[in-house]
Amino acid sequence: MKNKRIVTLVYNELPLSKETADYVRNRLNMYEFKINETISTEADLIICIGGDGSFLKALHTFQFPQIPIVGINTGHLGFLAEIDPDGIDNFIENYINGDFYIEKTQPLEGAICTRNSCIKKYGLNEIVIKGDKSRTIHLDIAVDDQLIQRFSGDGILISTSLGSTAYNYSIGGSIVDPRLNVLQIAPLAPINTNAYRSFTSSVILPSNATIKISPEYRFEDNIVVVCDGEEHRYSKITEVDIRIADITVEMIRMKSSNFWNKIIDKFL
């Protein structure tokens, strides 16, 4: 190992996270790592201590850096994290010895467009489109420019395969093995009456699909876009285009890591 490899260390304010960060810092110092708490393009690794929310916040704060990242779980579920606090020493040893692999995953890219411009937002797990002020919203949903439905309900959730076990799973969406690079559309409280007909189950789409979501009515062009739990409000929206982004997130995995073992451990 070359001297002074750079590690960016981030953590939340919970006592266990701070205590764990102190321990990680001390152990890394023993191996002559250089530790930063702000992002550096020269960093070799990002270590995020906390729960899934902290992991996602770090990615968004650092604008999805092209640097390997690993999570140490001091939260509740910790599905995105790879390490528990009692496995820190083993992780550092494995990392130094190169005994790990990189799981590359692509987040979602959402282009939120008005008549004059578009703003890009990203979501590792999901992007959600909802009506402002928690009202029923009517949305035209097209896939590759083909209208597939006029949706009515609370909103629409689009998830990655990795995010299929997050919000998507809680609303009845399908769990997707992350080795499959797909998009999933899941409805939020769809309305099915004589007046409105909406899909009641999730829909799986290929990785090269583009989903276009447009407010059906002009008075509903104030919408809420939620990216991995971060809420953004926009007005005068004409459409939101969502696709799998060209960028990748590099997540460090131990060689013993297994997706379905984690599903059984966390959910069953």
Q: Are 21 and 85 in contact (CB under 8 A)?
A: no
**Average pLDDT of span 191-207:** 89
Q: Are 242 and 108 in contact (CB under 8 A)?
A: yes
Distance from C-alpha of 17 to C-alpha of 36, rounded to nearest angstrom? 16
108-244: CATH topology = Tumour Suppressor Smad4 (2.60.200)
Residue 134 has pLDDT above 80, yes or no: no
Distance from C-alpha of 254 to C-alpha of 108, rounded to nearest angstrom? 25
What band does 192 get if pLDDT is binned at 50, 70 and 90? confident
| Distances in whole angstroms, Cα of residue 19 to Cα of each of 6, 34, 183 | 21, 19, 38
Q: Are 186 and 198 in contact (CB under 8 A)?
A: no
Q: Which residues pair with 104 in a beta bridge?
A: 250
| Cβ-Cβ contacts under 8 Å for 68 (sequence gap 6 or more) | 44, 45, 46, 102, 250, 251, 252
DSSP, residue by residue, 171-239: TTPPP--TTS-EEEEEEES---SSS-----S-EEEETT--EEEEESSGGG--EEEEETTEEEEESS--E
Distance from C-alpha of 240 to C-alpha of 199, rounded to nearest angstrom? 19
pLDDT digits (tens, 9 = 90+) for 207-252: 999 999 999 877 778 899 999 999 999 999 999 999 999 999 999 9
**Taking the alpha carbons of 175, 179, 180, 184 in that order, is the dihedral positive or negative?**
positive
Distance from C-alpha of 131 to C-alpha of 201, rounded to nearest angstrom? 20
Whether 6-105+248-267 shares its CATH topology with 108-244 is answered no
What token pair was written down for 175?
């769990």
For residue 4, what pLDDT is reported? 64
For residue 3, what pLDDT is reported? 53
- Asked: is 6-105+248-267 a CATH 3.20.20.140 domain? The reply is no
Of the candidate ranges 105-109, 150-154, 172-176, 190-194, the one whose mean pLDDT is the lowest? 190-194
**Average pLDDT of span 80-97:** 95
**3-class secondary-structure state, position 80:** coil
For residue 1, what pLDDT is reported? 44
For residue 116, what pLDDT is reported? 87
What token pair was written down for 244?
């799998």
Q: What are the structural domain ranges in the chain?
A: 6-105+248-267, 108-244
**Average pLDDT of span 69-74:** 96
Does the annotation mark 89 as catalytic? no
Catalytic choice (22, 52, 84, 246): 52
